[in-house]
Amino acid sequence: MAVVACDARLMMAPQPLPYKGKGRQGIFCIETPLLADLEIGDSRGHALSHPDKAAMVVHRQPAFARLNGAMHTSTSSLAHALQECSTPQDRAAAIQGAIDAQAAAGGGTVRLPAGVWRITTITLRSGITLDLPFACVIEAHDDLADYPRGAVFVGNKDRQPYHLIAAHDCENVGIIGDGVIDGRGPAFWHPPMRELAAQGVDVDAYCDEHQLPAVYRNRNHPWYREKKQRVSPLCDLVRCQGLTLRGITIRNSPGWTVHLHDCDDVSIHGITIRNNLLGPNTDGLDINGCHDVRISDCDLTCGDDAIILKSMDDARTCERITVSNCILASNCAALGIGAEIVHAIRDVTFTGCVIRQALRAVQIEMWDAGLVENIVVSDISGTCDADVPLQRAIYVDIQHHGRTDGALGRCRNLIFSNIALRCRGRSMFTAADGAVIEHITLRDIQITYPCIEDPQQSVAAQSSSQMSNDCPETRDKPAAIVCDNVHYLLMDNVRAIWPGADVEEVVAAANNAVNPFHGNIPMHGCWLRRVRHAVIRCPFLRAHDPHHTGMADLVDTDCSDLEHIT
């Protein structure tokens, strides 16, 4: 006998009594206070009840149960339907049918059965919780012609019209469980050029055939390259209120993994993301124009930004966001804000997180004329050791990027404290002339250098737009801390621990074909340009001078009202 509502109270029911009536055969349980709120229904939506109103029924093949007003679908019925399906579209339709029926009945939980189910898009409805139990895997079908085509966003190639799970304008919706969502990323990518070259493939001919840009043709590059169209974001959740993501594992996303767009009252707890670190633009959580978001106790591995906050053209402000107790790995930013900030991002805390790997541990990038304010980053530890050039521990930058109207973003009220990182690169706080980063506190920050990435080599060799591009006088300066156009700066107990006696061995291990720029080079403690109203109390922020060339601890250019306490 199948029991639908997975509730401990069903296990406590008394001995059932057989009953046959109205053409339906079932088993009744005499009512107890434990079961007084249970209603059972068949696949046609008919409620099943005993003629004696003091009894409850458990049907042999129920399709739904209502407990405390919450609906629960029959896992066994859905499993049978899925097993009968022969195509990903049919399986998606079967799941969608269960979701729609559940929503029409007032909402509740749709629990998928164990198994591997390759599908196209499913769309959640208000009041629906999708439960993916242990041993349940839903996979993305690889033929985009079989997907429904959603809205197109012009201006970001990672916001495609194809998704595996979508929810638009929903209330009280969630995805929970111990199961897996698998995006099957490699099905939507070109293989790494290094891999093709090793197989003897003519890389130029391959790139010509697939119309890939010249930047993709580097035979040393280990990264996958995205096809023009793919399933991205894998989960697209738009204008939802009361959204919960809990416990699930998402892996192999072809592009962005979870995109939250203009959502309110969001809880993301205990989820795991396992994307390919060499995958293209495989962001973890993109929080775009959302309010009141709590992200906690997550473990994310991503090829691009792990957790990133945005406020894009078609979004709202992004406000009241907390991220805590997460473990993060990325080949880009572990914790980030931007670069698309058209409106405002404010009132954000990143706290208690461990960085397993990153190119930049924490970043705030502004490419648009928006506002960033009231940001607190605290209690962060870990390692920035991605095998990619232009490493930075902390990076804050305002630039024009592609804008031609001269407008620049505004960034103020930033606190970075209690941070301990291993990193081969610098920390940079830079703004284009005409913009200012103001009211910034750096307190109790310790950066340990196993070796040093030479910025004067790596910056010149790269064409990245994420390297203080509108600050030509400072972007390649050799210093642990670089500041340009910063007002009201407080630095208190910031220290750099420079390479030790084993530096040559570390350099030999760190250098590779992608990033050959490591060494034991001289570095200043701090390099300042156009800094106004600053207090620096950092007795351990000294220069690294391995060749005894007289490197200064601090260099300042065109600064005023600067108090340096050694």
The neighbour count for residue 84, using CB atoms within 10 Å, is: 10
pLDDT surpasses 60 at 164: yes
The DSSP string of 315-328 is: S--EEEEEEES-EE
pLDDT of residue 50: 41
Asked if the structure places residue 25 within a domain, the reply is yes
pLDDT confidence tier of residue 221, bands split at 50, 70 and 90: confident
pLDDT in tens, 484-531: 999 999 999 999 999 999 999 999 999 988 889 999 999 999 999 999
| Cis peptide leading into residue 339 (ω within 30°) | yes
- Greater confidence, 75 or 544? 544
pLDDT surpasses 90 at 32: no
pLDDT of residue 58: 38
pLDDT of residue 71: 52
pLDDT of residue 154: 75
Q: Which residues pair with 299 in a beta bridge?
A: 272, 327
Asked if the structure places residue 284 within a domain, the reply is no
- Give the pair of three-digit tokens for residue 37: 């709120």
Asked if the structure places residue 249 within a domain, the reply is no
pLDDT confidence tier of residue 559, bands split at 50, 70 and 90: very high
Q: What is the mean pLDDT of residues 145-167?
A: 92
pLDDT of residue 404: 87
Of 28, 68, 67, 34, residue with least CA distance to 48: 28
pLDDT confidence tier of residue 73, bands split at 50, 70 and 90: low
Query: Cα(556)–Cα(566) distance, rounded to whole angstroms?
Result: 15
pLDDT of residue 299: 99
Query: Cα(243)–Cα(293) distance, rounded to whole angstroms?
Result: 9
From 26, 49, 68, give the residue that closes a domain. Answer: 68
Total domains in the fold of the chain: 2
Query: Cα(553)–Cα(537) distance, rounded to whole angstroms?
Result: 13
Out of 238-247, 396-405, 529-538, least confident range: 396-405
pLDDT of residue 350: 99
Amino acid at 47: A
Q: What is the mean pLDDT of residues 74-86?
A: 88
pLDDT in tens, 40-56: 444 444 444 444 433 33
The residue to which tokens 């060799």 are assigned: 461
Q: What is the mean pLDDT of residues 480-487?
A: 99
Q: Which domain holds residue 45?
A: 8-68
Asked if the structure places residue 508 within a domain, the reply is yes
Out of 145-159, 312-326, 380-394, least confident range: 145-159
pLDDT in tens, 176-202: 999 999 999 999 999 999 999 999 999
pLDDT surpasses 80 at 111: yes
pLDDT of residue 223: 93
Asked if the structure places residue 439 within a domain, the reply is yes
> Under DSSP, is residue 203 helix (H, G, I), strand (E, B) or coil?
helix
pLDDT surpasses 50 at 119: yes
Q: What is the mean pLDDT of residues 424-438?
A: 98
pLDDT confidence tier of residue 70, bands split at 50, 70 and 90: low
Q: What is the mean pLDDT of residues 119-148?
A: 98
Amino acid at 330: S
Query: Cα(279)–Cα(227) distance, rounded to whole angstroms?
Result: 12
pLDDT of residue 72: 56
pLDDT of residue 23: 39
- Greater confidence, 72 or 116? 116
From 37, 68, 99, give the residue that closes a domain. Answer: 68
Asked if the structure places residue 62 within a domain, the reply is yes
Asked if the structure places residue 327 within a domain, the reply is no
pLDDT in tens, 233-277: 999 999 999 999 999 999 999 999 999 999 999 999 999 999 999
From 68, 98, 117, give the residue that closes a domain. Answer: 68
Q: Tell me what percent of the residues of the chain surpass a pLDDT of 90.
A: 81
Residue 155: DSSP 8-state: T
pLDDT of residue 365: 98
pLDDT surpasses 90 at 298: yes
Sign of the dihedral defined by the CA atoms of residues 461, 463, 468, 470, in that order: positive
Asked if the structure places residue 335 within a domain, the reply is no
